[in-house]
Structure 1
């Protein structure tokens, strides 16, 4: 897949079959749409046009918006779908003021070489999002491209799935989230040095810093996780929380990897969430915390053994 961070001089060489959307999560429903695009592309180059930052971040200055994927994670997932091209278009207030005609003519036709578009029945575009699929069909006649409507049920399934995934993650229901995603929910960040408290109780942790404030972080608690570190799969248990037993106040994301002692400070790492063990709790003492961590590790290893059997 060719990933293009759009720039003004860009022009697609090959005529394209295009779909448009945020595709946050790149979940099972999204992948059905992409499969549909590829299947019905009629030999055209397949292309997904997505936008970043999210329009709500720009138009509403919505700093509270939470997305299932960072843009890098979204690209990583889309790269596995069989798409020929991904266009990441920089969304701005200026871009939002384009009329529907300007959007179609100047971007879709002149820049992206549109010949066929596969789009949802409820898709809105142009200034103030006033244009719809009927307007798109009219433009298709004028500019000579085909319009194919994605069935309402498929679009509704995508919306329902996205809502259920976010709800499940906020409730710590990783099993449901992963089922709708079709893969294990991931967190990606840089390993930073923490207070080193884990080492003092024989549970050293990698403190993961996620720079994207818009990334959805699941409910606080203890999770079974895995990572690929230098081409090897490493399992562990992760705590999302404030470490109340040692009077912590800020939320951290800390992973204790099993049978692993490499130095990974300042390295990028991606953690996939397999299962959730329990809520974070405040224990009466550090010794009681250690007892619980041993139980967590035993339970984690049992779950990992089952996981590896499938």
Structure 2
């Protein structure tokens, strides 16, 4: 997969392109992705056009939190068969581009779009004035065809990134994973931690997610760790380690069942399956160890190991 970011000078030929924010790459997004992938058989270049956001919102002081970071999104899409991922820089200029100019200058001239695949509520351009009707009105002018899809539902819920964010912030991991259509995960390189777990016979791996990664509530979760494509069951703590460290940044600490290899510096994915309990501050390491042993017993029953 070709990855283009922070660059507005690109030239793609004969593309089938899907457009949107694509935070979460959830089930609704997957319909659009699958469609452009299917068009590869007809000779089109499959393209996803999205935006690369600055860590801080242009219009407020709030940091944009992402279900999947840019690195995680690239990792998912690189395995999908997509030809090109374009993360277009989001700026004041980008925000203020007139929708007619976006169609002409980007979709037609830069992407040579022959097929445009979007959700039926897709909006773009200055003041979000561009929509599916504007795109369809310009089909004959520019020679492209628009393919649109209704919102996908799961049970009684319309799937959207905002719904998934809300469930994630509540720690409803099973619901999050169903809405996503994949398991929520945290990707990163294993850090050299305090090794407290090793001293009490429970060695753990430590990740420090980027500040713009949207994490679930602090607590203990059943998890799977993906190492070199192999999945290993375990238990993960999200939080600040109040008993032993009182860390300033929220970290991801995982105990992998029956695993003893050194993973320091290794890039891994930690998938969260189910919320077990909140993070607790204990009065001693001994109390922490007892609770961790209870967590591991729960985990072995959960995974039937």
TM-score by length of 1: 0.86
Asked whether the equivalents of residues 96 and 126 of structure 1 are also in contact (C-alpha less than 8 Å), the reply is yes
Shift of 1:40: 6.6
Asked whether the equivalents of residues 224 and 236 of structure 1 are also in contact (C-alpha less than 8 Å), the reply is yes
Asked whether the equivalents of residues 28 and 159 of structure 2 are also in contact (C-alpha less than 8 Å), the reply is no
User: C-alpha distance in 1, partners of 2:152/2:241?
Assistant: 42
Asked whether the equivalents of residues 225 and 268 of structure 2 are also in contact (C-alpha less than 8 Å), the reply is yes
Shift of 1:36: 3.6
Other-structure match for 1:170: 169
Other-structure match for 2:222: 224
- Which structure shows the bigger proportion of residues in helix conformation? 1
Q: How does 1:50-65 map to 2 (within 5 A)?
A: 50-53=50-53, 57-65=56-64
What per-residue deviation string (whole Å, max 9, x for no partner) do you get for residues 1-39 of structure 1? Answer: 4433363442113x1222201111111121122234445
What per-residue deviation string (whole Å, max 9, x for no partner) do you get for residues 137-158 of structure 1? Answer: 333232222223323x449999
Other-structure match for 2:3: 3
Shift of 1:53: 1.4
Structure 1 unaligned regions, length at least 5: none
Other-structure match for 2:28: 29
Other-structure match for 2:126: 127
Shift of 1:82: 4.1
Q: Rate the CA distance shift 1:279–1:233 in 2: closer, same or farther, 3 A.
A: same
Other-structure match for 2:12: 12
Q: Rate the CA distance shift 1:124–1:161 in 2: closer, same or farther, 3 A.
A: closer
Asked whether the equivalents of residues 58 and 91 of structure 1 are also in contact (C-alpha less than 8 Å), the reply is no
Residues paired across the two proteins, number: 302
Asked whether the equivalents of residues 41 and 116 of structure 1 are also in contact (C-alpha less than 8 Å), the reply is no
Shift of 1:285: 2.9
User: C-alpha distance in 2, partners of 1:76/1:292?
Assistant: 35
User: C-alpha distance in 2, partners of 1:36/1:62?
Assistant: 37
SS in 1 for 2:159: helix
Asked whether the equivalents of residues 58 and 92 of structure 1 are also in contact (C-alpha less than 8 Å), the reply is no
Larger deviation, residues 241-250 vs 269-278: 241-250
Does residue 1:69 correspond to 2:65, yes or no? no
SS in 1 for 2:233: strand
SS in 1 for 2:64: coil
Other-structure match for 1:92: 91
Structure 2 unaligned regions, length at least 5: none
User: C-alpha distance in 2, partners of 1:105/1:51?
Assistant: 18
User: C-alpha distance in 1, partners of 2:254/2:145?
Assistant: 50
Asked whether the equivalents of residues 101 and 139 of structure 1 are also in contact (C-alpha less than 8 Å), the reply is no
Over the aligned positions, Cα root-mean-square deviation in angstroms equals: 2.7
SS in 2 for 1:244: coil
Q: Rate the CA distance shift 1:7–1:246 in 2: closer, same or farther, 3 A.
A: closer
Q: Rate the CA distance shift 1:154–1:184 in 2: closer, same or farther, 3 A.
A: closer
Other-structure match for 2:195: 196
What per-residue deviation string (whole Å, max 9, x for no partner) do you get for residues 146-185 of structure 1? Answer: 223323x449999634233222221112111111112211
Q: Rate the CA distance shift 1:24–1:187 in 2: closer, same or farther, 3 A.
A: same
TM-score by length of 2: 0.87
Other-structure match for 1:234: 232
